[in-house]
A = this chain, B = another copy of it.
Amino acid sequence: MTVKVGVAGYGVIGQRLADGVARQKDMTLVGVADVAPTLSVRALKEKGMPYKLFAATAEGRISLEAAGFAVSGAFEDLVGQVDVMLDSSPGGVGAKNKEIYKKLGKKAIFQGGEQNSVADVFFHGYANYEKGLGADYLKLTSCNTTGLIRAVDCLDRAVGVEKVAITIIRRVADPGDYHRGLTNALQVDRAPSHQAVDLMTVMPHVGATGILVHTPVSHGHIITVLATPKKDVEVQEAAALFREHPRVRVVRLDEGFLGNASLFRYARDLGNPRGDMYEIALWEDTLVKSGRDLMFAINIPQEAVTIPETMDAIRAALKMQTDRLEATAATNENLGLGKWRKN
């Protein structure tokens, strides 16, 4: 028997959550819900409706049916059939949806755009899986924080990390976004960045600060990390640790990976659905040591990076696995993570 999952909000993240669930052998995607005939919903139709579409609101149903879409039911119909909802609605909507989840007694996993207060646990599959076990409401860390914690947790479990200072060079829009964008401008945010603060919430034994700067690109954030390990570690040892992580790709400039756009191109050339990449990349050429500090740069493919950790969250919430490594291994196996090393 498989776990039944629904997705609220079929946008950039929702589509990828649905695909991710569909790839898990021990899960079944019941359907997805949205409120309007967006491009993503139109693409679902053109593909022949591989997923059932539910109307997330009553008005949404009218809008979708007026546009000729086959609607399988109301939002409550979807929620009623699932064991857990993945909520990737626009920020704030998830909190409203939670009332429905509560009423129908269903668990839910929210994405990073929602307020922390929506959930019992602020979750990361590798860093604090145990905290999510059996929880009713979990919230995933944001795309940047998810990728960042992968790298920091990897170091931390091996050699201990005392503190980190990060600079987030943020992509300001996703491909196809017209509602936000920057033109020939870098934009500075108030420090410390929420990602540094969030890291300390998930990994309370690590000190963190950081600055975020928005940049006019769409194919991946780049984060530079200055990490102070608890014990001295050589650059080659650190590289070896990262190389073993199933959700990290260690890449090099001389292979042709020159920046975030190279990774986007590579994922397309791999034939990945939507040209997505679940893994963060870490440039070996940027891994340097200064005193005891390690510095390195990672690439965060913002559209897909949280999918694996969200699958982990389902596993935790429903106690599909009680062990962190068994859970992440199951997710990795189903998403093909780590497999690429064998070729």
Interface pair A259/B295, CB less than 8 Å apart: no
Kindly state whether residue A269 has any CB partner on chain B within 8 Å.
yes
Interface residues as binary, A155-172 with B (CB distance below 8 Å gives 1, 0 otherwise): 000000001010101011
Given contacts A271-B273, A343-B45, contact A185 B219 (CB under 8 A): yes
**Partner-contacting stretch, out of A35-43, A88-96, A137-145:** A35-43
Interface pair A46/B340, CB less than 8 Å apart: yes
Bound-state CA distance A211–B295 (Å) is: 8
Interface size on A, residues (CB 8 A): 86
Kindly state whether residue A253 has any CB partner on chain B within 8 Å.
yes
**Partner-contacting stretch, out of A78-86, A127-135, A175-183:** A175-183
Which of B209, B220, B266 makes the CB contact (< 8 A) with A295?
A: B209
Kindly state whether residue A325 has any CB partner on chain B within 8 Å.
no
Bound-state CA distance A226–B207 (Å) is: 14
Most chain B CB inside 10 Å of its own CB: which residue of A222, A268, A274:
A268
Which of B40, B174, B287 makes the CB contact (< 8 A) with A191?
A: B287
Interface pair B226/A185, CB less than 8 Å apart: no
Interface pair B188/A222, CB less than 8 Å apart: yes
Bound-state CA distance A293–B295 (Å) is: 15
Interface pair A187/B290, CB less than 8 Å apart: no
Q: Closest CB-CB distance, A343 to chain B, in whole Å?
A: 5
Interface pair A208/B175, CB less than 8 Å apart: no
